[in-house]
Amino acid sequence: MAITIVAQPDTICYANSAVIYDVYSTANSNTDFQYSLSIKIWTGDKTSPPANANYTLRKSPNAAGKATFDVSRLIREDIKVQNPSALLDKINDAVEDIVWVQVKIDATWNGGSETQVTADTILATRGYTWYDMSEVNSNNDDHTGATYPTAFGTYVARDQGILEAYGCVNESLLLQYNYLYPTGGYLPTYAPLTYNIYEDGRLSFALFTDYVDEIKLTDDNGNEHSFYVGTTDASTDKLKYINVAPRKVREYGLSWTNSYTITAYKDGVQYAYTYTINVKCEPKYQPMQLIYLNKLGVWDYLTFFKLSSESVETQKTTYLNSSFDLGTSSVPVSINREQGEMQNFNANGYRTYTLNTGYVHESEKHRIEQLLLSERVIMDTGTNIYAVMVQDSKMDLKKSVNEKLINYTISVRDAHRRINKVNV
């Protein structure tokens, strides 16, 4: 007798998506049989897990004798995401927005037990990756290759938590559908290849150091600057941010005229993606920037160049207040005209901002979608940076075949009341 585990995923996982351990023991028919899963979550050295488990879960077997443990929310609670402002002061900034996860599973029943089994230790970050299964199947047709290892990614789980199997996947497919697996690990791999930003705007790119060992910046005058990162970094530095904002790029000795590019390398081989950063000059309007946690659990940036508006919404309670002045023995009763009969109480409010992207490429719809889905959004007004909430719950994702010129209008609201109050 032994416990078998089918784990999803077997490498980097995204804690908002299903992180599933599907377990089975042939002893499941014993009286009072129960599976037990203990999970350890930590930062720092991979080889130094904590002594005690963060959580222990127990489940009885289902009709098939198995138990499925979805531990996504437990992992997510232990990932502390830094604010983007903390990432912009250093050139090469390692962060702890990523954790190690180790799961141990055993089983007990009336009069017996199974030997504990330890699953592979994996990395987790705070994302909500969507696995697109439509282009992947187990047949040797145009979408798969028999020469590629069939054991690659035996199982994946969609956000709904449904386990799905797929067969062998060729490398060219992975390059096209890189959200199935971080082929380069360079984030954001899903994003459009062009970013539009203003000169004082914030922009940091995230990368997993297991997959990238060099980042190269090149301006449109041919000047280059490289950062060397990767597997030689400490075990705590598995996720890093590179500050590539225009002001910082100038400090690297680059002199761009209109744009500069970013390319990633591993062992001297360049990944297919080259990101172009177009620096926009918009003297008419103050650009506004929304910084949000994207689908991979790292910070991403959308700049709104066109007309923005600002409004305020207030909330208050009104009560009837006595406006009489009772006077004294020598002063008669009178009405205090400065006090008023009605009084406002517990007044507070929020500011709402309406932002416009200007004309953008059709591919920006993916980032608009992720902005709407993001649980953490921060606005940079050029002078202040603070948390906001996206007000829009529905957005038409536009196609160039229907609309030759595409732009988006987004409404956001303060995440803090204008007069702050702490509820005890």
99 strand-pairing partners: 124
Q: Which tokens in the block code for residue 225?
A: 């600057």
pLDDT value at residue 413: 92
Name the pTM for this structure: 0.78
What's the CA gap between 87 and 83, in Å, rounded?
A: 7
Question: CA 81 to CA 96: how far, in whole Å?
Answer: 7
At 91 the pLDDT is 64
CA 403/CA 127 separation, integer angstroms: 31
Instruction: Domains for the chain: give ranges and CATH numbers.
Output: 3-87+97-180 (2.60.40.10), 182-281 (2.60.40), 284-317+348-424 (2.30.110), 318-347 (no CATH)
Is 308 in contact with 411 (CB distance < 8 Å)? no
Q: Which of 223, 281, 228 is nearest to 256 (CA)?
A: 223
* Contact in structure between 380 and 391 (CB atoms under 8 Å): no
Q: What is the greatest pairwise CA distance in the chain? A: 105
What number of other Cβ atoms are within 10 A of residue 311's Cβ? 11
Helix (H) or strand (E) holding 180: none
Closest CA to 48 of 234, 208, 211: 234
CB-based contacts of 266-273 (< 8 A; 24+ apart in sequence): 266/184, 266/211, 266/212, 266/213, 266/214, 266/230, 267/213, 271/183, 271/184, 271/186, 272/175, 273/184, 273/186, 273/189, 273/193
Q: Scanning the structure block, which residue is given the tokens 């709104």?
A: 304
Q: 309, 392, 308, 312: which is closest to 351 by C-alpha?
A: 312
Find the length of the chain: 424
Task: Say how far apart CA 28 and CA 105 lie, in whole Å.
Answer: 14
- What pLDDT, on a 0 to 100 scale, did the predictor assign at position 151? 31
Report phi then psi at 72, rounded to 5: -55, -50
The strand pair at 155-157 and 163-165 is best described as: antiparallel
Strand partners, 348: 315
Instruction: Report pLDDT for 171.
Output: 44
Q: How much is the CA Rg of the chain, to the nearest whole Å?
A: 27
How far CA 77 is from CA of 54, 68, 400, in Å, comes to: 11, 20, 40
SS3 of residue 379 by DSSP = strand
DSSP 84: G
Residue type, 401: V
In the chain the first and final C-alpha atoms are separated, in Å, by: 53
- pLDDT for position 156: 44
Q: How far apart are CA 312 and CA 356, in angstroms?
A: 18
* Closest C-alpha to 175, from 217, 145, 200: 145
The token pair that represents 33 in the structure block: 């049989």
Residue 59 carries which side chain, given as an amino acid letter?
A: K
Q: What residues does 359 pair with on adjacent strands?
A: none
Give me the DSSP letters along 382-393.
Answer: SS-EEEEEE--S
Q: Are 298 and 125 in contact (CB under 8 A)?
A: yes
In a structure prediction context, what are the per-residue pLDDT tens digits for the chain, which is 424 residues long? Answer: 588 887 766 677 888 877 888 888 999 999 999 999 999 999 888 889 999 999 999 999 988 898 988 898 999 999 988 888 887 666 667 787 889 999 999 999 999 999 999 988 988 988 876 544 433 333 333 333 333 333 333 344 444 444 444 444 444 444 444 444 334 444 444 455 788 899 889 998 888 887 788 889 999 999 999 988 876 777 778 888 888 999 889 988 999 999 999 988 878 877 767 889 999 887 788 899 999 998 888 899 999 998 888 888 888 888 887 766 777 777 777 777 777 777 888 888 888 999 998 888 787 888 888 898 888 999 998 888 889 999 987 777 777 767 777 888 999 998 888 776 554 4
Left, alpha or beta for 19 (phi > 0: left; psi -120 to 50: alpha)? beta
CA 245, chain centre distance (Å): 20
Which among 212, 320, 352, 354 is positioned nearest to 269, based on CA atoms? 212
In this prediction, residue 189 carries a pLDDT of 42
* CA proximity to 21, closest of 166, 193, 155, 206: 155
> Using an 8 Å Cβ cutoff, are 47 and 25 in contact?
no
